[in-house]
Amino acid sequence: MKLKTLSVASSLAIMASMAAPAYAQDDDGDRTNTIVVTAEFREANLQDTPIAITAVNAEMLEARGQTDISQVAAQAPNVTLKPQPQNGGSGLIAFIRGVGQVDFNYALDPGVGVYVDDVFIPTLSSSLLELMDLDRIEVLRGPQGTLAGKNSIGGSIKLFSAKPQGSGEGYLRATYGSYDRMELRGMADFAVTDTLFARVSGFGRSVDGYVTQLDYGLTHPGSNVPATNARGRGNPDNTTMGGSNTTAGRLALRWMPTDRFEWNISADFTSTKGEAGPTVLIAAGAPTGGTTAFDPFSDNPATSVGAGVPGTEIFETDDMGDLVLDDMMNPILVGYGQYEALPWLTGNDGNAVPVNCAFVPAGPFSCDNIGNQYGDPRYIAYSNFLDARTPTSQAPYKPYSALQNQDFQGWGIHSNMTFDATDNLQLVWISSWREYESKWGQDQDATPVPVAQLDNQLNHRAWSQELRLNFEAADGLLQGTVGGFYLDQNGEYTARVDLNYAGIDFIHGPDTTPSTTKALFGTVTLRPTDMLSITGGLRYTKDKKTYTYFRSNPDGTVPFVDVPPAGPPICEFFYGADPDFGGPTSLGNTPNCLLTGLFDIPGAFTGDRWDWRIAADYRFSDEFLAYASVSTGFKGGGVNPRPFFGPSTGECDDPSYAGGPCNQVLSFNPETIVTYEVGFKADLLDRRLRLNGAAFFNEYSDIILQLSACPESPCLLPANVGAADVKGFELEFSAYPTDGLSLDGGLSYIDFEYTQVGLSGLTGNEITPYTPEWTYSFGIQYDHELESGATVMARFDGSYQSKIFTDSFNTVWSQVDGYFLGNARLGYTTADGDWNVALEVMNVFDKYYFNSVSDVTGSLGLVTGVPGLPRTWALSVRRNF
């Protein structure tokens, strides 16, 4: 579908009579701004805070045209923020200094803490936030274990909303651009009474997708692929991926009955109805030379069952009949049995349709001839989200069609009370309640052949309370904060998981994940002189998490428990070389018997942790501050959310274990870090140049990564794989060389080296996912005042990241090459500041690149990717009131 209908009516209802002030200018003109941050629980100048921070105010967000949190990473050194690919829904992938998390599942905690108005957002699936009516963003690099708590082991990203001022001002802004983008934003700030102020903000946006889905059978009438004609009337291309229709709003109230008490309360909601996540096929067929290349004219034997070639895997055994494992602890495939003769996709001639380069529309591994008749073939996919396979006794739940969607609906209420008991004692109480529901479909193979299809749904609610006591003593000699934190959350994950390549098709869940986090913390700063500050912090955290597994057949029956009418259930786990019987997914077994014993089975994790921080800073002059710190942090442990074998199969580490299925309901420990950091902050040349820098060394332990190699396959197991030393540096600058001209930029480097690896399949030469060795960014802006008093603004932003890998093993096919992106913006503001017109061009040089790639050569025999947007443009008109 194409989302053409912007919710203008609902947006106008939110935004009617909204207004906002024009940009606030610095009193010193062309000088570095004084940016106030609250990284240490109290307001302080960015240049006086001994933490590596990138702070971006609302004016800069507007000048760069940034509208969601993932775009901020381009200007933050050693920070990678990416939207989740199609298999992750509408969430965020976040890494700072090589520490983060990819998996959206509730069993795994994020490694970068995301906060909105000091409220912790505990899941990746609700962290891809729209930038709506913000005062500023603070990106804190390095572990924030004492200041922010668990899951900020890599750092934290804090969004602060603009508070109501009662100014009676506001704005409306309308935008139109590429892919039929229509957007309306607005804000109104007004006084209800002399002590109660309100601020209403909202936006609505509709944009079409940029990856075109084609019906392969219709666009290739001479092929063996049958046309589904699902779009009707022989129309092959009226469906896209990547489009969405979003409406969001926020109401904030600020009550100040006295000069000692302030209560800020807000309510927000977001609703997105979206197409499927944009995904294209990069390569498919038979690998040649290991994992370095594909033979574009061969079918892939690793997915011959999925490609419709008869048979199921037969594995090598020794003279005693025991399974032989390779160096990666996987069974060694020697052939396929002949008992399964039904293809996954039957061609027009009655034979099986294989997965090969014919379904790769563009690139060096394509043998497709689609050309440009339907647009740029690099943005074309032949996925159809359909499994029309003929049912069998082992796979009776066909046909099945996954939804082509990516929907999100969430809301929350935040409260922040501040009471100044005395001039030296302040009480802060922060509380919140948040809920969301996320739904999305997935065609994992991006082909018409039904290799793997899924429908996913996440439901989550979180309730948090935080109490802080800020104090000051001895006329400023001592400052500090003590407090407590409580988080109670519960999530459910439900999915239809149709994996023909693995021989299973089942209902996952609803798996429940209730968890609680309790913490006590304190931080104290001693200022023996006006130049020297010494800070110490301590935090104690206690976690409890229970994950309960439910696996059932799509008809509601439980594998190997509900007896079929034909007789007792059969589930043969033998993986021998007998061609008459190939294993638990072959004909003769009950459906999904591989998942035997995984119904109403809990897996639990409990743990506690002390974190600490010591820092010292010295201001050598008004222009230069230096600091050093040692700090710790951790990411919570948990249990494997995707076991294929339950406790009934025995324990893998049991001395009597002799191969075959074993229990994958296993827990993993928290990962931890100790960071040593030195840095400086300088305002030079009469504040025309700001230069901030930091160098760090991390001792990173019990690293949590997902393994696909276990004593028994299939396997997707999060585990503590080892330890690493990580070192690097970051530089940021802003400059005002002449009147009207401003420059800003950043540079970062990171070196990641494993010092220990366990039995994980790692060699020790890898780097964590989404961690570029080098990044840099720069921006240049010129503001010119015309004789009329109007202002013309021109700005260009550029950013570069070196290559990254998207999986733990750094396979060739998980590599995303380095790339440079440029964005430009031209604006005109009238002399009275009431009107602003802006034209922006994103990806000016039309660079083709990937946000992420998925290497599933080992299971599906193919590689998919999420291409970034090509060159786009947008024209905005804003009216300030």
pLDDT at 650: 61
State the amino acid at position 173 in one-letter form: R
Pair type for strands 244-258 and 313-315? unpaired
**Hey, how many other C-beta atoms are within 10 angstroms of the C-beta on 454?**
20
Confidence of residue 706 (pLDDT cuts 50, 70, 90): confident
DSSP 669-733: PPEEEEEEEEEEEEEETTTTEEEEEEEEEEEEES-EEEES--SSSS--EEEE-EEEEEEEEEEEE
Q: Which of 97, 98, 96, 94 is nearest to 109 (CA)?
A: 94
What six digits make up the tokens of 818? 């380095």
Strand boundaries in 527-598, DSSP class E: 532-552
Q: What is the number of residues in the chain?
A: 881
Confidence of residue 713 (pLDDT cuts 50, 70, 90): low
Answer whether 281's CB lies under 8 Å from 382's CB. yes
DSSP 323-381: BPB-TTS-BPEEEE-SS----SSB-TTSSBPPPSGGG--SSTT-----TTBTB-GGGEE
Task: Measure the CA dihedral 631/694/804/802, to 10°.
Answer: 180
Answer whether 409's CB lies under 8 Å from 436's CB. yes
DSSP reduced 3-state for 595:
helix
**Higher-confidence position of 648 and 130:** 130
φ, ψ (nearest 5 deg) of residue 595? -95, 20
pLDDT at 785: 95
| Cα separations in angstroms, 865 against 258, 658, 862, 873 | 56, 39, 10, 24
pLDDT at 11: 43
What six digits make up the tokens of 494? 């439900």
φ, ψ (nearest 5 deg) of residue 647? -60, -25
Residue 298 in this model has a pLDDT that exceeds 70: no
Q: What phi-psi label fits residue 122: left (phi over 0), alpha (psi between -120 and 50 degrees) or beta?
A: alpha
Give the mean model confidence (pLDDT) for residues 699-712: 79
What six digits make up the tokens of 396? 């009776």
The DSSP secondary-structure symbol of 227 reads P
- Kindly give, in sequence order, each residue whose CB lies less than 8 Å from that of residue 222, ignoring residues fewer than 6 positions away: none
Which helix (H) or strand (E) segment holds residue 200: the answer is: strand 196-207
State the amino acid at position 377 in one-letter form: P
What six digits make up the tokens of 246? 């979003």
Span of 326-340, 499-513, 576-590 with lowest mean pLDDT:
326-340
Give the mean model confidence (pLDDT) for residues 781-793: 96
DSSP 396-424: -S--EE----EEEEEEEEEEEEEEEEETT
- Tell me the β-bridge partners of 432: 414, 464
Confidence of residue 306 (pLDDT cuts 50, 70, 90): very low
Give the mean model confidence (pLDDT) for residues 208-217: 94
pLDDT at 438: 95
pLDDT at 394: 81
The DSSP secondary-structure symbol of 845 reads T
Confidence of residue 699 (pLDDT cuts 50, 70, 90): very high
224-253 residues labelled b (16+ CB within 10 A) or e (exposed): bbbbbeebeeeebbebbbbbbbbbbbbbbb
**Residue pointed to by tokens 């494992």:** 325
Answer whether 249's CB lies under 8 Å from 201's CB. yes
Give the mean model confidence (pLDDT) for residues 29-33: 61
Give the C-alpha separation, 836 to 881, whole Å.
Answer: 12
Q: Which of 744, 743, 824, 742 is nearest to 783 (CA)?
A: 742
Q: Which of 29, 23, 78, 122 is nearest to 517 (CA)?
A: 122
Give the C-alpha separation, 26 to 32, whole Å.
Answer: 8
| Cα separations in angstroms, 141 against 145, 210, 632, 677, 704 | 12, 34, 12, 10, 20
| Cα separations in angstroms, 350 against 308, 355, 392, 401, 646 | 11, 16, 17, 22, 39
pLDDT at 714: 63
* pLDDT cut 70: percent of the chain above it: 82
Residue 233 in this model has a pLDDT that exceeds 60: no
Give the C-alpha separation, 143 to 373, whole Å.
Answer: 51
Q: What phi-psi label fits residue 229: left (phi over 0), alpha (psi between -120 and 50 degrees) or beta?
A: left
pLDDT tens digit string along 151-187?
789 999 999 999 999 999 999 999 999 999 999 999 9
Furthest-apart CA atoms within the chain: distance in Å: 93
pLDDT at 653: 61
Residue 544 in this model has a pLDDT that exceeds 80: yes
Give the rounded distance of the alpha carbon of 800 from its chain centre: 20
pLDDT at 131: 86
Answer whether 559's CB lies under 8 Å from 553's CB. yes
Pair type for strands 155-161 and 112-116? parallel
**Hey, how many other C-beta atoms are within 10 angstroms of the C-beta on 473?**
12
Give the C-alpha separation, 647 to 661, whole Å.
Answer: 10
What six digits make up the tokens of 750? 């990171």
Give the C-alpha separation, 553 to 591, whole Å.
Answer: 7
Pair type for strands 380-381 and 211-213? parallel
* pLDDT cut 90: percent of the chain above it: 61
Answer whether 162's CB lies under 8 Å from 134's CB. yes
Rg, Å, the chain Cα set: 28
DSSP reduced 3-state for 126:
helix
DSSP reduced 3-state for 297:
coil
Give the C-alpha separation, 58 to 314, whole Å.
Answer: 60
pLDDT tens digit string along 461-477?
999 999 999 999 998 89
The DSSP secondary-structure symbol of 74 reads G
The DSSP secondary-structure symbol of 130 reads B
Residue 511 in this model has a pLDDT that exceeds 90: yes
pLDDT at 124: 82
**Higher-confidence position of 706 and 773:** 773
pLDDT at 393: 80
Residue 436 in this model has a pLDDT that exceeds 50: yes
Residue 323 in this model has a pLDDT that exceeds 70: no
pLDDT at 238: 66
Answer whether 304's CB lies under 8 Å from 278's CB. no
Give the C-alpha separation, 154 to 101, whole Å.
Answer: 10
pLDDT tens digit string along 446-465?
999 999 999 999 999 999 99
Confidence of residue 827 (pLDDT cuts 50, 70, 90): very high
The DSSP secondary-structure symbol of 46 reads G
Answer whether 731's CB lies under 8 Å from 747's CB. yes
- Kindly give, in sequence order, each residue whose CB lies less than 8 Å from that of residue 398, ignoring residues fewer than 6 positions away: 387, 388, 389, 390, 391, 505
Residue 573 in this model has a pLDDT that exceeds 90: no
pLDDT tens digit string along 575-622?
443 444 456 676 667 788 778 778 888 888 888 999 999 999 999 999
Give the rounded distance of the alpha carbon of 548 from its chain centre: 24
pLDDT tens digit string along 725-782?
999 999 999 999 999 999 999 999 999 999 999 766 788 999 999 999 999 999 999 9
Residue 297 in this model has a pLDDT that exceeds 70: no
Residue 21 in this model has a pLDDT that exceeds 50: no
Which helix (H) or strand (E) segment holds residue 790: the answer is: none
pLDDT averaged over every residue in the chain:
85
pLDDT at 860: 81
Give the rounded distance of the alpha carbon of 867 from its chain centre: 16
Pair type for strands 244-258 and 196-207? antiparallel
